């Protein structure tokens, strides 16, 4: 996402990382207030949760009616890549919150306003992180047949829906998929 070394932070222990992420969130909000000359009332510090899983490093959540904002951080990535998460992901998500609070949904998520704020923070704007992240789950896949020679594979979610009556069509031949006579899953083929 950018220049992680520019905002170097001392890291004491893994127990301290969440507190540091919360402190960095408040720091970047304060920086945005100063840069944009915005009051604390108009730009409050969002709450921070550490409940994000999967490949995403962070996420800004906006409540439409109340315009309340919160930030979700991937605790696993924070623990494995603390320097990058604190120096890049936290200001990235704070920038989303700031832009939303000031412009609402008129501004694009990684649009010119967001990019300008990231540059004002001294961080090169990048829409995605480059940290190695594994998905939290692997879906089981089930074999289906159609007019094609090759089998089609449906995830466990779509397989369950197909069993409940949802029809799926082959992308190649357009025929309705039906459970294969070889009802094994991709995991069992192994």
| Catalytic (active-site) positions | 93
Q: Give domain limits for the chain.
A: 4-120, 141-189
Confidence at residue 2, expressed as pLDDT on a 0 to 100 scale? 44
Comparing CA positions, the residue from 187, 186, 188, 169 lying closest to residue 178 is 169
pTM of this structure: 0.66
pLDDT at 181: 77
pLDDT on residue 189? 47
pLDDT of residue 184: 58
Give the per-residue pLDDT at 88: 94
* Mean pLDDT, the chain cut into blocks of 10 residues (190 residues total): 44 74 97 96 95 91 83 93 94 96 90 96 88 69 91 90 93 90 56
- The pLDDT score that the predictor gives to residue 3 is 43
**CA-closest candidate to residue 48, choices 107, 105, 3, 91:** 91
């Amino acid at each position: 996402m950018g220049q992680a070394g520019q905002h170097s932070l001392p890291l004491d222990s893994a127990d301290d990382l969440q507190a540091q992420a919360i402190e960095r969130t408040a720091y970047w909000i304060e920086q945005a207030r100063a840069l944009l000359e915005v009051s604390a009332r108009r730009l409050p510090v969002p709450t921070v949760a550490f409940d994000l899983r999967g490949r995403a490093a962070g996420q800004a959540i906006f409540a439409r009616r109340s315009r309340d904002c919160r930030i979700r951080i991937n605790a696993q990535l924070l623990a494995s890549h603390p320097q990058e998460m604190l120096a890049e992901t936290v200001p990235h998500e704070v920038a989303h919150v700031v832009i939303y609070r000031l412009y609402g949904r008129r501004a694009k998520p990684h649009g010119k306003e967001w990019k300008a704020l990231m540059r004002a923070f001294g961080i090169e704007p990048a829409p995605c992180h480059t940290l190695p992240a594994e998905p939290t789950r692997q879906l089981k896949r089930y074999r289906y047949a159609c007019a094609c020679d090759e089998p089609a594979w449906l995830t466990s979610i779509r397989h369950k829906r197909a069993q409940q009556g949802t029809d799926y069509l082959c992308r190649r031949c357009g025929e309705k998929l039906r459970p294969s006579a070889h009802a094994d899953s991709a995991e069992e083929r192994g």
